[in-house]
Amino acid sequence: MKKVMRKMINWQRIWDDDGITGWYSPVKIIAYVISFFYRLIINFRNWLYDHKILKEVTLPCPVISVGNITVGGTGKTPCVIMLAQMLQENGFKPAILSRGYGGKSIHPVNIVSDGHKILLDSETAGDEPFLIAQVLKGVPVITGAKRIVTGETVINQFGANVLICDDAMQHRKIFRDINLVLLDSQSLRVNNHILPRGRLREPITELKRASAFVLTRTDESQQTNNTIEKLVQNENIPIFMSIHKPKDMVKGDYSAQWPISILAGKKVCAFCGIAKPDSFKKTLLDAGAQVLSFDIFSDHHRYNKNELEKIKTRFIDCRADFLISTQKDGTRLQELPEYLTMIYMLRIELEIIPSGESFKKFILGRLAAAQKNKLFKRMPA
C-alpha cells in the first residue's frame, strides 16, 4: 500500500513547484493546508526556545551540531566523519551522538561503537550510525532519542571532550557551541514551503541560528538563495564551500580496494537506496563508467533476497565488469554476506574547497572560546 501511495503522489513535483505554474491537484492543496498548521507549530516551539521559556541544557564539554533545514540528503554523514577526524588530528577526543534514524533499538542509550569495537548491527543501530562507526576508529558512536542522556553517558563513560550531534538542527533541547548547517546547492529552490508542501523542516528564516553554513555539492550546482545571502551579509554568518569527492571503491567484504579511476571504460551495473541517487550515478559517469543498469530504491531501504537476486541476474546477463552500490547501502547488506562478496561500494568523503584551513581555523577557534567559557562558569565565585 505504501509503495502504491508513493507512486501515486509525485512529491518531487510538489516540492519543486514554485506556485507560479498554475498547476493544482487535491494533494497539493491538502499539503498546503497541512504545511500552514505545521509551520504554526514549529514557529511556536522556536519562539518558546528563543524567549527562554523552554530551556536549553548545557553539557560540560563543547557540542557541535551538524544538521540541515531540508529533507533529503545534504551530506551530513561525510561531514560528521570529516569533522571527527579533524578533531582527532588536533588532540581532541570526539564522540558522535545520533538519534539512530531507522534503527530498531528503543533503548535510551545504544552504544554502536565504543571506539574500538562495533557492538550493534546496522539494523539495530541505523545504517548511518553504523557507517560512521565503521569508518571512525577511536571515536565512540552512541544513539538515543534524548541527546542529553547520550551526551552525559559518552562524557562519563568514554571521557569525550567534544560531542558531535548528527542531524541536530531541530533538536534544540541541547545547547550547541557550534551550529553547522549544511545546504545542498541543488536543493536551494524557489519553493520555500514547510513540509509537506515543500522540503523545509522549518522556516528558512530559522537559518539565523546557524554558526556557519557548509554549502555541499558545489561542483554540481552554483545555486544560491536570496534569504541565505541576506543572512550571510546581515548576520555575519560564515559560509564554506564543499564537494563530495569519491575516495575509492572497496569490495563489500573489504577484501579488495580500487581507485575510482579503474571505472574508466568499464561496464557497470549499479543500485542504491539513498536520498540523492542522481549524484551517485553522476559520480560513476564522471569516472568514465558505462552504466548499463541503475536500480533506485527508497532512502534507507532494507534489501531482501528477491531484490538482490534480480540485481545479480541482471549483472550476470549484462556481462558487466562491476556491480556497484554505495557504502551506506553496504551497511544494509551485513545480514546477507553472500552478496557483499559480489558488490563494490563507492566511498565518498566531504572536502572543503578551495582549502580546509579556514574551516579548521573557524572550528578550533570556536572550540577554544567554548572551553574557556565553560571553565569560567565552573570557577567558584
Residue 67, pLDDT > 90, answer yes
Lowest-confidence pick of 97-106, 116-125, 249-258 = 97-106
Distance separating alpha carbons of residues 327 and 298, to the nearest angstrom = 15
| Mean pLDDT computed over 162-184 | 95
Residue 133, pLDDT > 60, answer yes
CATH superfamily label, 253-342: Response regulator (3.40.50.2300)
**Which pLDDT tens digit goes with each residue over 290-320?**
999 999 998 889 999 999 999 999 999 999 9
Q: Is the pLDDT higher at 7 or at 137?
A: 137
Q: Is the pLDDT higher at 256 or at 222?
A: 256
**Which pLDDT tens digit goes with each residue over 10-42?**
666 666 666 656 566 787 888 889 999 999 999
Per-residue pLDDT, 103: 87
For the chain, the domains span 63-92+161-243+351-378, 253-342
Per-residue pLDDT, 317: 97
Distance separating alpha carbons of residues 373 and 236, to the nearest angstrom = 22
HSE of 210, CA atoms in CB hemisphere, 13 A: 27
Angle subtended at Cα 129 by Cα 112 and Cα 146, rounded to the nearest 5 degrees:
75
Binned at pLDDT 50, 70 and 90, residue 5 comes out as: very low
**Hey, what long-range contacts does 84-92 have (CB within 8 A, 24 or more apart)?**
84/132, 84/136, 84/139, 84/164, 85/136, 86/356, 86/360, 86/363, 87/162, 87/164, 87/363, 88/138, 88/139, 90/360, 90/364, 92/161, 92/162, 92/367
Distance separating alpha carbons of residues 374 and 199, to the nearest angstrom = 36
Helix axes 76-89, 127-135, angle to 10 degrees: 30
| Mean pLDDT computed over 225-234 | 71
Q: What is the CATH number of domain 63-92+161-243+351-378?
A: 3.40.50
Relative to beta strand 94-98, strand 141-143 is parallel
How many CB atoms neighbour CB 153 within 10 A? 19
Distance separating alpha carbons of residues 71 and 65, to the nearest angstrom = 17
Looking at every residue in the chain, the average pLDDT score rounds to 89
Q: How many helices (H) and strands (E) does the chain have?
A: 13, 13
**Which pLDDT tens digit goes with each residue over 307-359?**
999 999 999 999 999 999 999 999 999 889 999 999 999 999 999 998 899 99
Per-residue pLDDT, 194: 87
Residue 4, pLDDT > 70, answer no
Residue 2, pLDDT > 70, answer no
